[in-house]
Structures are given as C-alpha cells and as structure tokens.
Amino acid sequence: MSENRLPDYLDHMQQAATDACAFVGGMAKAEFLEDKRTQQAVIMSLIIIGEAATKVMDGYADFIQAHAQVPWRGMRGMRNRIAHGYFDINLDVVWETVQTALPDLLRQLPAVRNAANESS
C-alpha cells in the first residue's frame, strides 16, 4: 500500500490559496493588471492548487466523491489552461478566481482536511 499523501496535497492547496489571496490583498484590479510580479505569483499559486487537485483526483476517487462540493475539476482545468496555454492567460479570469473562488475554497478546506485526517 502506498503512503497516504492526501493531507499533504490538501495542505499544498491551502497554502497556495492563502498565498494567492495575500499577494493581491489590498490591490485593485487595475493595479493587479499592471503588476507582472503579482500576476506571476498568483498564476504559480493557481498551478500548485491545480496540480494538488489533480493528485487528489488521480489517487483518491472515493474522497473526491465524498467531497463533491469542492471544485476539483475546475481547479485541474485552470491549471491545465495555464500550463498549456500560457501565452493566452486571461488575467480577468485569474483576478476573478483569486477574488471569489479561492476565498470559497479556503472556507471549504478546513472541513475537507479534517475528513482527510480522520480517514488516514
């Protein structure tokens, strides 16, 4: 039996989401659109989230089904769009993601993480 990495993947997701939100904290959208460093930092955080979500989806199908409220496919899809279409990243979508989807994810993750701990 392989090692249970589920808690690690969820921790990576939480840290990257927290980081991305902190990177844009106090920023207006116009500032974000002019700040390449912050864009790159947020984009990297989204890649980390998507990569961790992919690992969870690939290795823990029952857990995914039990926590269907988490947008696993959307996180993986965002990562794939960024990684494979890097020159076509829509910064408006990145901004909206960090403003709405990531705070929602951060509200969901503590309970999901507790469930992962209970199952390990």
Task: Examine the residue annotation and report whether 79 is marked as an active-site residue of this protein.
Answer: yes
CB-count exposure of residue 98 (10 Å: 0-12, 13-18, 19+): buried
The alpha carbon of 95 is separated from its chain's Cα centroid by a whole number of angstroms, namely: 13
Q: Which of 73, 76, 84, 107 is catalytic?
A: 84
Strands (DSSP E) contained in the chain are: none
Show the tokens assigned to 98: 């960090």
Q: Which of 79, 81, 107, 113 is catalytic?
A: 79
Task: Examine the residue annotation and report whether 12 is marked as an active-site residue of this protein.
Answer: no
Q: Residue 13's closest CA among 62, 46, 38, 61?
A: 46
Show the tokens assigned to 34: 């002019």
CB atoms within 10 A of CB 58: 10
- Which residues are tagged catalytic? 79, 84
